[in-house]
A and B are shown apart, each in its own frame.
Chain A
């Protein structure tokens, strides 16, 4: 390696510094979702509420133990609702569960 290479390398852009493409990708995804939302109201909060309400009709659940995760992707979005169900002991006292 010649000493000249030292100067040469400093003139090339570092690939790690190319954050602009990350900016573009993130913008395209977030805006694709926001543009859809412009024409109709944001239904997600209601969807969550209603889903949880339906489950609560059959199983006694702790509202504090409901986890909602949304991942908005480019081609595919996932909505994951995780509801922790009580163990058999707690379930026995509800009439619906005691056959």
Chain B
């Protein structure tokens, strides 16, 4: 049986699509047959982040409305084997998604794929509710910032009450915390919530910490999932997160500021420390 994973956050702009693209690519690199679905109807962006925007012919709404077959709408990634993308519609509104339609798509994808990633839109409206409804596992993308943590807590509540698993009173959706845009320097200066604070408040298992990194913008500029940039700290952190998701035991990295001795320190040795 395929595992359905929702990447969600409540708040916008915290890195859901960046994360969906990176994790889907990472899972495929590890040999798992993976499909990633964009649920943000009307504001699709996963295609751009994945670099397949010029290959979109049909989308999820076309499939739901019977205008195209699922196999026609799926875009196979050219860089990584085992990876497919199902884009959202850019022209329709969110009402074009129906629970029955999404259920059929997920059932059909489940026959061919190991992992079905659902990239949720922001908010807790229809698109976001449908993205999380069928989830077996949830990745909660959170920035170390008050509004993001609050919205993550809210979306955890929604998962526990409005998902299919909750409605059917089955075992609850497995939750993972992914802290993104973590700036260890600002944390050290007391300007940003510590990882431990976020963990304590949300109280769900930690999948990974993605450090704030210039490589994320560079990756989106070129349409290359950041996980493919093996040099970058963000890419490495995503790779670790994929490993942990698949059961590897890896220590969390990039939690301390990079130690670059400043010119003063070098001049005065230990005295200025």
Chain A residues positioned under 8 Å from B230 (CB to CB): none
> In the complex, which residues of chain A have a beta carbon less than 8 angstroms from the beta carbon of B77?
none
- Chain B residues touching A, majority SS: helix
Within 8 A of B (CB), among A8-43: 8, 11, 13, 15, 17-21, 23-24, 26-28, 30-31, 34-35, 38
CA distance A20 to B268 in the complex (A): 31
* CA distance in complex: A24, B190 (Å): 11
Instruction: Verify if B96 is at the interface (C-beta below 8 Å from A).
Output: no
In the assembled complex, which residues on chain B have CB atoms less than 8 Å from the CB atom of A23? 145-146, 193, 197
Contact B190 A19 (CB under 8 A): yes
B172 within 8 A of A: no
Instruction: Closest A residue to B145 by CB, please name it.
Output: A23
A37 closest partner in B (C-beta): B157
Chain B CB within 10 A, most for which of A15, A24, A28, A30 = A24
CB of B161 within 8 Å of the partner chain: yes
Tell me the bound Cα distance from A15 to B191 in angstroms.
10
Which stretch of B38-46, B55-63, B147-155 is in the interface? B147-155
Q: How far is the CB of B99 from the nearest CB of chain A, in Å? A: 23
**Residues of B with C-beta under 8 A to A38:** 157, 161
Task: Say whether A24 contacts B197, CB under 8 Å.
Answer: yes
Answer whether A4 and B190 are a contact pair too, CB < 8 Å, given A24-B197, A31-B201: no
Q: Which residue of A lies closest to B197 (CB)?
A: A24
Residues of B within 8 A of A35 (CB): 153, 157
Docked-complex contact A20 and B161, CB < 8 angstroms:
no
How does the 8 Å CB contact mask read for B187-207 relative to A, with 1 for contact and 0 for none? 111111110010001000000
6 residue pairs of the A-B complex, CB under 8 angstroms, read: A18-B189, A20-B194, A23-B146, A23-B197, A34-B154, A38-B157
Given contacts A23-B145, A27-B150, 19 further A-B contacts (CB under 8 A): A4-B268, A4-B272, A7-B268, A8-B272, A11-B264, A11-B273, A13-B188, A13-B190, A17-B190, A17-B191, A19-B190, A20-B190, A20-B191, A27-B149, A27-B193, A27-B201, A31-B153, A31-B201, A35-B157
A residues contacting B by CB (< 8 A) are 4, 7-8, 11, 13, 15, 17-21, 23-24, 26-28, 30-31, 34-35, 38
